[in-house]
Amino acid sequence: MRGLYCYVLWIFSFTIQVGADERCYLVPEKCIQNKERDVPSCIEKGMKNCSSSAPRLPDKRYFSTLIMSEETVNTERGYIIHISDEALQKSSNGEGNADLIVSLINKTFFRVDSSSVTKGNNQSESAPMLHGQNVLGVWLGKSEVQNLSKPVHLRFINTNQSESGICVYWYLDKNGKGNWRTDGCKTTVDNGDFVCSCNHLSFFAVLINPEIPEASHIVSLNYISYIGSSLSIAFTALMIIIFLCQRKKQCEHSIIIHVQLSGSLFLLHVSFLSSAWFSGRKDTDSLCQALGLLLHWCLLATFTWTAIEGFHLYLLLVRVFNIYIKKYLLKLSLVGWGVPTITVIICCATKVYGKYTFYTSDENSTITPLCWITTQIVSYITVNGYLGLVMLFNIVMLGVVLVKMHRLRAQSLQAKDHQRKVWKEWVSLLGLSCVLGVPWAMAFSTHGPLSLPALYVFTILNSLQGLFIFLWFLTLTCQAQKEKHSSSKGTIQVSFNSNDDIVNAR
């Protein structure tokens, strides 16, 4: 009878204990249902005072086990966790065992405060792209685990081997603002998997393809961009003014196409500076969406006009004779400005524009928000994909120019003339490279071990593209006036002045 009494008492006390503590797997759901303002903080507090009892039915978003010594645990949910003996001792206060609790939480509850722009049911904020689109919450016992000399290793199993990423954890400051940070965590790649070695436990994630340098480099790149864009605005505007003043004297098709390209560059740099300026202000949701659309349109217009430059070069160097295109310039203008317009109208209908925030490994990870495209797939297709096609075509055209130059150089008989032609040809090649937008191809080299130098080169060349085209325009203008009455047989006239009459636009 006494044994039965003790058994009932034990059952009763166990029931009371379980009822006093919330089940751990129910904590995230409870925080969400209660509409907590800060869901991560609510989950963090709840996990320190909950029962690790597993649910009756398997839950793909929850895992728990008892850790009694240094151990590597496979959660069978895409994550492998190695708990060091030091972490176990700190979490259990020397008792030697503790419950390891793992919870997968949707990334939407981890929003950087300064990038939140919510209006009604339309959320136009830009969240970082996370591995698995989930955040990994890890807790060990009820004590804080931090400042470990032997870090905890978190392996994020990567099924897409082509991705690159960096380990981050969620940091909440005293003002209640959250940010992703990397201090205390190191990222390594082992057989394609991301391994995060961290000296504490918290909410963890892997930012996919961050490719954002340190804050010190960001500041330098910002200054280069702003100064270069300002110079490009000034010189492209000056080029357009000079063209309008001399329009009656020279109306060569190539010059007009150069001016159209300069006009798109002028708008691009103006919209870029406006987007960077207004994106940092509050209550600019509608304005930021409009500026993001304008910046996207100007960028696509610039790409399109560089492709038109390549097409015009193809007509002049490959299809030299018997070319007749009615209303040539009008058709080029419809393509140059029409294709970007149709594209942004389609994108605007899907509401993809808003405030886009970049992330770095520094404490203040929100660096220079920009009014831009907030949907990654749209950016890849309309910007990266389109730029890739344009660069492929223009680089082929540049290769044709090199072949033509080589053939003419082989026909040169006099050494002095040969050296003079080589010098002029290389200057022409550099000018054509700028006009054809070859520096934009550097965007595809800003990945990997040389990403930072490539990013500096890319920023310098493209922010100053307006200045380079202005110098090229002056060179063509001076050359056209100098060679107005001279013969140009046997050489490539990269100014295309002597060949423009081939493309009839009447």
Token pair 């009822």 is found at 19
pLDDT on residue 496: 45
What distance in Å separates the CA atoms of residue 436 and residue 261, rounded to the nearest whole number? 10
pLDDT on residue 153: 93
pLDDT on residue 363: 44
* Average pLDDT per 10 consecutive residues for the chain, totaling 506 residues: 46 39 83 80 85 80 89 90 90 79 86 43 48 86 86 83 74 74 85 88 80 67 92 95 75 85 96 85 77 95 96 81 78 96 94 72 52 84 94 92 74 56 72 90 73 86 92 79 53 44 42
pLDDT on residue 115: 39
Cα dihedral 48/51/56/60 (nearest 10): 10
What distance in Å separates the CA atoms of residue 232 and residue 240, rounded to the nearest whole number? 12
Q: Is the pTM of this model over 0.95?
A: no
Contacts for 48 with CB less than 8 Å, ≥ 6 apart: 139, 142
Q: Which amino acid is at 107?
A: K
What are the structural domains of the chain?
20-208 (2.60.220.50), 215-502 (1.20.1070.10)
Q: Report how far apart, in Å, the C-alpha atoms of 28 and of each of 24, 36, 168, 327 are.
A: 8, 10, 21, 65
Three-class DSSP labels, 220-288: HHHHHHHHHHHHHHHHHHHHHHHHHHCCCCCCCHHHHHHHHHHHHHHHHHHHHHHHHHHHCCCCCHHHH
Which residues pair with residue 16 across a beta bridge? none
Q: Which amino acid is at 240?
A: I
Output the six-digit token pair for 17: 């204990």
> Is 430 exposed, middle or buried (CB count within 10 Å of its CB: 0-12, 13-18, 19+)?
middle
Q: Determine which helix (DSSP H) or strand (DSSP E) holds 47, and give its type and residue range.
A: helix 39-48
Contacts for 133 with CB less than 8 Å, ≥ 6 apart: 106, 107
Q: Determine which helix (DSSP H) or strand (DSSP E) holds 313, and give its type and residue range.
A: helix 285-317
Q: Which amino acid is at 279?
A: S
Report the DSSP pairing between strands 152-156 and 134-140: unpaired
What distance in Å separates the CA atoms of residue 15 and residue 37, rounded to the nearest whole number? 32
Q: Which of 142, 109, 139, 140 is nearest to 127 (CA)?
A: 109
